Structure 1
Amino acid sequence: MFNDIQQQLEEKIQAVCAADGIEPAELKWVSIPFAGEWGISTSFFQTAANEARAGRGGGKPVPQRAQEIAEQVRDRLGSVEGISRIEAVKGYLNVYFKTSDYARRVVDTVLVSGADFGRGPAKSERVMVEYAQPNTHHSFHIGHYRNTILGEALARLTEFAGFETIRASYPGDIGLGVITVMWIYDKFYKGQEPQDVHERGQWLLKLYVEATALLEKKENETPEETARREQYEAERREMYRRWDAGDPAVRELWRTTREWSLEELREILRMMDVKIDVWFYESEVDEPAKAIVEELIAKGIADDERPQGGAVIVKIDEKLGLKKEKYRTNVILRSDGTTLYLTKDLALAKVKFEQHHVDRSIYVVDVRQSMHLQQAFAILRLWGFPQAEKCFHLGYGFVSLPEGAMSARRGRVVLFKDVYDEAVRRVLAVESEKSPEMSDEQRRKVAEQIGLGALAYSMLAVDNNRDIVFDMDAALSFDGRTGPYIQNAYVRANSILK
């Protein structure tokens, strides 16, 4: 934006230095931290150092000579259009722009560039952002929303910066929690599922809560209750065994109920204007993960202790030659032959790097998984993937409720769809009074946009490392530092421009 001014300054500096017999080093400009004025700065330390090596500069210390040169240049630069003042400070030449000129240039540039203002040039790196990945057989709650809105914001930023960006989702679609819902549905509720996409997704969560209560040991339970609970547990474990063995009936039940969850997830992502490019599933990387274990053993990265009745482990610190414990020893295959989350993440990373040719992989996962992901990145380095150096974990804090932590097992969650519906309802109530001339369709569209803006801002305005105690009234407030306030300012600004 200010290349012309910078070029003028450099030409004048070159002329001053030439007249004084100074051979200036390459000028490198940096922005001055904003403190009421905008400016740029360059230093003469390299010039002074070059003089000292060449036996010039009067034998003065480099800092002193750098300041001397800066003062000479300042005194002889003369006026430059758009510059308010020039200072020589500790060997630096600080150049400040006239605020009025700076503002005019910024506004002119923004108006000319439009939506492309600030867009970065195309870059060669391909970035994959992994987010929006709740477990299936549950419903999408406000904690999932924080993950998704953070991931989408990051994906849009990397895309705007010029990176080819791939949005990826990795739902957990297998495990005991999934089997729990399948078991209770098959035993008590088969054929009773609601037809509405959101009602059905929320219904699966209710089944999970009920099943958990049935399978949980209770205080003072009678022998009959104990026997019934143990029978239920045996049935659940048997269903898991049948799923693992590939039983056609169980697999079909799994696919059907999984699709109910995925339908709700896709609909919520559509509401949020999130378009996932690649879908990975935990169930798809389980078998490849087992093959990877054998590869890591063959490469000498993993130690196989199965002959002694143990597991397959990776002594990361030892393999990296670290003297102090950092990553610890990790199990990548249990003694019973089952994989772990870590093993599956390694398998997924291999797919990302080899099939999708990803150069940089960003994981949007809560802070509890920080060590887990650092361990995965370390094993990927040992494995020889250069992309491991560009794997990054964007952690974020928990979303809890005023009454405590959210718990799917207890049914103590705030569902995104409920919050969204309430947001739209509140906006509609306001719009009906303020804009009675709007059609119902227009009013609904505006309410959805404002409601989503309120929710998005309530999450993005908080440092990702901080926990959030979700308060619906605060999140949906239209006063103060809120999404609706920003949207209203945008509408007013557009009205002025018209």
Structure 2
Amino acid sequence: MNVLDHLRALFADALRPLTERPEDYALHVRPAQDPKFGDYQANCAMPLRKELGGNPREIAQKIIDNLPDQSIFESIEIAGPGFINLCLTSDALVGELGTLLGSDSLLPATSGPAPTMVIDYSSPNVAKPMHVGHLRSTIIGDALARIHRALGWNVISDNHLGDWGTQFGMLIHGWRHYRDDAKAKENPLAELARLYRHVNELGENDPVVARAARDETVKLHEGDEENLALWKEFMPWCLEDLHRIYDRLDIRFDHELGESFYQPMLAETAKSLEEKQMATPSDGALCVFFPDPSGKTDDDDNVIQRFAPMIVRKADGAFTYATTDLASIRYRVEEFQPDVIVYVVDDRQSLHFQQLFEVAEKWGYTDVQFEHVAFGKITGKDGKPYKTRQGGTVGLEMLLDEGITRAKASVDEISPDLSEEERQQVAEVVGIGAIKYADLSQNRISDYIFDWDKMISLNGNTATYLQYVYARNRSIFRRGEIDPATFFATLPEIVLDHPSERALALILLQFPESLQQAAGDFKPNMLTTYLFDLANAYNGFFRDCPVLKAPSESLRASRLALCELTARTIRTGLDLLGIKTVERM
């Protein structure tokens, strides 16, 4: 059972005689921010005063009197202007912990039809290697997909690849004019990367080269047989490179429907917008305009526009990213019938998605919710976009390699008893986990500083710290020569006599709440904050409550149960962030 959901249901019943919106006011039941205020607080009396009038403390008392079941509360107190402080009984906590310990899953049970989400993330241009700029979309999107699946959603992940744009014109031009046959035969992928950089540099200074690359793109889009054949030859090499990175990150997609997939649908998309009088010709292009709702006009009597028009078809007949995105909406709605379509894309694209969603709704897609999950940029310590020492873009594979190398140095220091092979395996998990967690633990809306020393640290809110707490937890069972599966075949009675036992028990039961908060706000950092708080509570318990040397066998079994639940929760929580754990560290 989700404790918070149960409390909110109780308070909704208590509020029903007082308001027509009991569920809304019940949302004001939340975990207490400070243990001195109890376990949970119900802060619904003050906002309810606006509807009922009167004294909030008297309203709070009416709510308490209406509670249908008070047996789970050790105490209920009214504090300050009308806060209701709730302290749960130890029996209530113990009962829920026993249920968790005997269950195969820590995830909340779901009922009713599962809502469907299409989530669009990562979406690199396949013609060039992935770099640090792809990191946030990739791992935030993956974490959100995992969390929503854990909560019972039908999640369909789609990597909307850039596989049809100008970069392929650059590759085709480079392949024809600057290819090194020996290098292409030895490592075609590396040769493509070299050609892309070479043509890109030439095109910046030579308009003839830039124009030639664009012409090759146009020929590709028009179905030129030779260009299409080269595109088909390049694509497997490009995808192989991408999938190698995704494999290292332990990321999979249900679909990888790139721009090329939607290319045959673009003309019909533009035609439909024009027929519905949503798109109109302008200087040879086809555009959607966004007039100010007030109808205000400028000095030339033109209706003022809220922002620049969305170009659906350029004057030269080429379609745009916006056209492709609209075609993808039509396809996704017809194919998957989603309740929500989520785009995990950086905040620089906010205007594009504002326009896209508005056009899609006007186009007729009003039964699906659209969400732009925006995020800030990764910076160096100087506050500027994160670069190599030479000032170049940091390749994603290079970033992963450096993370593992740094983690290896740390693992060598703290775990000299492990074999070289074991230390390397741990370093792989710790290094990649550190990179992911450093990103996911930030409020995604903000920029964050990429700092190797902090992210690999055993102190603070890092994956390394959580992985270490987990490994130390597992060492208790090894030292005691206890097999958890055998030991917990018979569930022990859990005892919460010490404050540190109770504090750990309470936070263990709040795991489902953290998942719901992370999913509801599309913010994985709410889960990382929970896991950090759990690890700290466990360390307090570990410090205050001897486990293997507990004064009695029954208390030893109880504390082992708390250890086991902590390990399961940390392992499950990190897995939902796409981060692995190790048994020894």
TM-score of the pair, normalised by structure 1: 0.79
CA 1:208–1:69: 2 relative to 1, 3 Å: closer
RCO comparison, higher one (Cα < 8 Å, 6+): 2
Corresponding residue for residue 280 of structure 2? 303
User: Is contact 1:69-1:91 (8 Å) kept?
Assistant: no
- Residue of 374, 377, 391 corresponding to 1:395: 374
Are the aligned partners of 2:79 and 2:85 in contact in 1 as well (CA < 8 Å)? Answer: no
State whether residues 180 and 191 of structure 2, in contact with CA within 8 Å, keep that contact through their aligned partners in structure 1: no
Amino acid at match of 1:493: N
Structure-to-structure mapping, 1:63-102, within 5 angstroms: 63-64=53-54, 67-68=57-58, 70-71=60-61, 81-88=71-78, 94-98=84-88, 100=90
- Do structure 1's residue 337 and structure 2's residue 325 form an aligned pair? no
Match of 2:335 among 345, 351, 355: 355
- Pick from 466, 478, 486: which aligns with 1:486? 466
CA distance in 2, matches of 1:483, 1:443: 17
Partner residue of 1:315 out of 289, 292, 308: 289
Greater Cα offset, 346-355 or 487-496: 487-496
The partner residue of 1:289 within 266, 274, 292 is 266
Tell me the equivalent position of 1:213: 201
**Any conservation in 1 of the 2:170–2:216 contact (CA below 8 Å)?**
no
Q: Which runs of 5+ in 2 are unaligned?
A: 297-303, 477-562, 565-585
Residue segments in structure 1 that go unaligned for 5+ positions in a row: 15-22, 50-60, 218-228
Change over 3 Å in CA distance of 1:8–1:422 after alignment to 2 = closer
Partner residue in 2 for 1:415: 395
- Aligned residue type for 2:230: L
- 1:332-373 CA distance string (max 9 Å, x none): 111221111111110111111112222210001111111111
Q: Which of 250, 253, 272 is equivalent to 1:276? A: 253
Farther-moved stretch of structure 1 (421-430 vs 132-141): 421-430
Q: How does 1:135-284 map to 2 (within 5 A)?
A: 135-193=125-183, 201=189, 204-217=192-205, 229=206, 231-284=208-261
Query: Structure 1 stretch 457-466 or stretch 64-73: which is displaced more?
Result: 64-73
Q: Secondary structure at the match of 1:278?
A: coil
User: Taking every aligned residue pair, what percent have the same amino acid on both sides?
Assistant: 26
- Note the C-alpha offset of 1:296: 1.2
**Would the aligned equivalents of 2:312 and 2:323 in 1 still touch at CA under 8 Å?**
yes
Amino acid at match of 1:414: V
How far apart are 1:154 and its partner, in Å? 0.9
- The range that moved more, 140-149 or 187-196, is 187-196
Change (3 A) 1:174 1:448: same
- Which of 449, 454, 458 is the matching residue for 2:429? 449
1:437-477 superposed Cα distances (whole Å, 9 cap, x missing partner): 54555443322211111011111112211223434444444
Contact 2:169–2:215 (CA under 8 A) maintained in structure 1: no
In terms of Rg, which structure is larger? 1
Partner of 2:33: 35
Q: Is the 8 A contact 1:39 1:97 kept in 2?
A: yes
1:225 corresponds to which residue? none
Q: TM-score, structure 2 length as denominator?
A: 0.68
**Counterpart-to-counterpart distance in 2, 1:4 and 1:372:** 37
Kept after mapping to 2: 8 A contact 1:316/1:329: yes
**For this pair of structures, how many residues does the alignment match?**
460
**Cα distance in 1 for residues equivalent to 2:475 and 2:135:** 32
Partner of 2:253, secondary structure, is: coil
**Separation in structure 2 between the aligned mates of residue 405 and residue 45 of structure 1, nearest angstrom:** 45
- Structure 1, residues 238-274: CA drift from partner, whole Å, max 9, x if none? 4234323322222222222232221111121122221
Two-structure CA RMSD over aligned residues (Å):
4.0
Q: For residues 406 and 359 of structure 1, what CA distance do their matches in structure 2 show?
A: 36
More displaced 10-residue stretch of structure 1: 181-190 or 278-287: 181-190
Q: Secondary structure at the match of 2:431?
A: helix
CA separation in 2, counterparts of 1:4 and 1:375?
37
Within 2, Cα distance between the matches of 1:117 and 1:340? 42
Secondary structure at the aligned position of 2:163 is classed as coil
Q: Helix, strand or coil: the match of 2:291?
A: helix
CA distance in 2, matches of 1:8, 1:254: 57
Distance 2:469 2:327 in 1: 47
Residue 282 of structure 1 deviates from its aligned partner by: 1.0
Deviation of 1:95 (Å): 4.8
Conserved? CA contact 1:70–1:91, under 8 Å:
no
